[in-house]
Amino acid sequence: MNDYMVRGTAANAQLRVFAATTKETAERARLAHNTSPVMTAALGRLLTAGAMMGSMMKGEEDILTLQIRGEGPGKGLTVTADAKGNVKGYALVPQVILPANEKGKLDVGGALMGREYYRSAGENVPEEGAGIPDGGQRAEEDAPGASGKEPEAAEKSREAPAGENEPAAPVGGVLSVIKDLGMKEPYVGQTALQTGEIAEDLTYYFAVSEQTPSSVGLGVLMEKNNTVKQAGGFIIQLMPFAEDAVIEKLERNLQRIKPVTTMLEEGLTPEGILETVLEGMDIEWTDRLPVQFYCNCSKERVEKALVSIGKKELTDIIAEGKTIEVKCHFCDHSYEFTVEDMKELLKQAE
């Protein structure tokens, strides 16, 4: 287990900072879902962000879900994380193959948003994200408690969970951030995808939906044999009292830094990445947490999901007279249920 994240503050707590190395997490996701390189990169980036954003939650039982739904051939991603560095996720279409983008990189934006909508990350934005946005005027929906699937919904369904009850997607696609903080209703924030490259989409989300100007950098580098060579990222957030001088310094630094994967390739640790991005500012480390791809599915949970589909559905399945296999969307583990098993579950169903 080499994956971990560090957390801290910088410039006298005017900045809140996170960085992670997530090669094993991304590779574990690739193995579970047999993702193509571009989808491995997409999923790896969102898993990395999920681990860091999950750690921003306060409660032991809190669950964060990041969901991207777009008009590209990859259709979308779902990632779920807890506050302790456990993260899991899947791609709706794992095997998208696309030519490299104009920068010669894996075309994550094209895979998620589609070519028609995908704008190149632009001249002003460093590769793989970063850059602090100025807010923005684009369409945004912020609907606490509205729609949004509950984080474990995928395990309750035998079919792919996408599609039903999705909010109407703005042009190109939507990013949903769903926080189940143990309240009656989860918090749901939604913003339009900006580039589909994920880091920029999260930066925009933080600015517009959480009113927290942030810089997000995420990267996944593949080996020639399509396994994961490097993965990681950082998130830097401005506190409301951040001084202009600190913001300007940070912006200058962000313009200078290399992509996350280059920094990782050069041997930088998460600490080293933050020291580079925050050069000239004092960092105070808060803690270091292991990060892992972890799925908490079990036969018992799948049983509960089957019971919840209802008497009629179960009766129909039993009538087919066959053992069924139920796969966990998050880790691809499969669970078998014989006709006898299902008759037992039918007794428990309402």
- Measured from the CB atom, is 311 or 333 closer to Zn ion? 333
Nearer Cβ to Zn ion, position 187 or 330? 330
Sign of the dihedral through C-alpha 331, 332, 336, 339: positive
The whole-angstrom distance between residue 64's C-alpha and the CA centroid of its chain comes to 9
Q: How far is the CB of 330 from Zn ion (least distance, A)?
A: 5
Which residue, 236 or 328, is less far from Zn ion as judged by CB? Answer: 328
Residue 34: HSE in the Cβ half-sphere, 13 Å Cα cutoff: 3
Whole-angstrom distance, CA of residue 62 vs CA of residue 344 = 32
The distance of closest approach from Cβ of residue 349 to Zn ion in the complex, given in angstroms and rounded to an integer, is: 23
Q: How far is the CB of 231 from Zn ion (least distance, A)?
A: 20
103 CB burial (10 A radius; 0-12, 13-18, 19+): exposed
CB nearer Zn ion, residue 130 or residue 328: 328
Q: How far is the CB of 68 from Zn ion (least distance, A)?
A: 20
Cβ proximity to Zn ion, 94 vs 217, nearer residue: 94
Separation between Cα atoms, residue 68 and residue 173, nearest integer Å: 7
Q: How far is the CB of 168 from Zn ion (least distance, A)?
A: 30
Binding site for Zn ion (CB under 5 A): 295, 297, 328, 330-331, 333
Identity of residue 11: A
Q: Which is nearer to Zn ion, 138 or 299 (CB)?
A: 299
Minimal distance, residue 161 CB to Zn ion, in Å: 13
Q: CA 208, CA 211: separation in Å to the nearest integer?
A: 5
Question: What would the 3-class secondary structure string for 32-79 be?
Answer: HHCCCHHHHHHHHHHHHHHHHHHCCCCCCCCEEEEEEEECCCCCEEEE
| CB 204, min distance to Zn ion, A | 30
Query: 229 or 301, CB closer to Zn ion?
Result: 301
Strand runs (DSSP E) across 239-318, as ranges?
283-290, 292-293
Distance CA 282, CA 63 (A): 31
Q: How far apart are alpha carbons 43 and 50 in whole angstroms?
A: 10
The β-bridge relationship of strands 214-222 and 228-238 is antiparallel
**Least separation in angstroms between CB 301 and Zn ion:** 9
Of the two residues 223 and 336, which places its CB atom closer to Zn ion in the complex? 336
| CA of residue 164 relative to chain centroid, distance | 20
We find the least distance from the C-beta atom of residue 143 to Zn ion, in angstroms, to be: 28
Q: Taken in order 277, 279, 280, 286, is the CA torsion positive or negative?
A: positive
With beta carbons less than 8 A apart as the criterion, state whether 77 and 90 touch.
Answer: yes
CB of 11 or CB of 302, closer to Zn ion:
302
Q: Which residue has the tokens 């053992």?
A: 323
